[in-house]
Amino acid sequence: MNITIVVELTLGRRTRNVRVQLHHAGLLVRLLGLAYVVWGLLAYDLTLMLIGVLFLLGPELIALIRYRVWGRTFGRVYTYTLSDDHLQVATAITTLQIAWSAVRSIREDKNDWSLRVVAAGGMTLPKDQFSPEQDAEWRAFIADRALVRT
């Protein structure tokens, strides 16, 4: 297998990536924010309401910060190369190789493949960047490794 995809990380794509990566934690942060907003409304406390709004918008704020800071540092274009041995991620300033043995799971959702990686957190591969041939080859590869969870 030798698949190369080039992804430009726009703010929208970065926001979607953060939401996917935070998953349940993002939901808990939003629920905590809602609780603070309600508590602030009941207590007529503007500080609690502002804290609640920050928590409600937490995933979007994280995405905005990552977009600005990481975009300046690494650039906005990421090149992913998927081979039989490893996954390689190349940015404007660095290249990272991750052995498939370090990938703990791969989740598929409507738009993306979410990879959980030991000591590196996770990453998201957008499905729309795969050609039909690449998609078939990728699916066959990960099915052999039994890493997919839906």
Read off the DSSP letter of residue 120. Answer: T
Torsion angle in degrees (nearest 10) through CA of 44, 48, 52, 54: 130
pLDDT digits (tens, 9 = 90+) for 55-68: 999 889 988 998 99
pLDDT digits (tens, 9 = 90+) for 31-45: 999 999 999 999 999
pLDDT at residue 19 is higher than 90: no
Domain boundaries defined on the chain: 2-7+79-149, 11-73
- pTM to 2 decimals? 0.76
Rounded to the nearest 5°, which phi and psi values hold at 119? 65, 0
pLDDT digits (tens, 9 = 90+) for 83-131: 999 999 999 999 999 999 888 889 888 999 989 888 767 888 999 999 9
Q: If you classify domain 2-7+79-149 with CATH, what class do you get?
A: mainly beta
| Cβ neighbours of 137 (radius 10 Å) | 16
The pLDDT, as a whole number, for residue 1 is 86
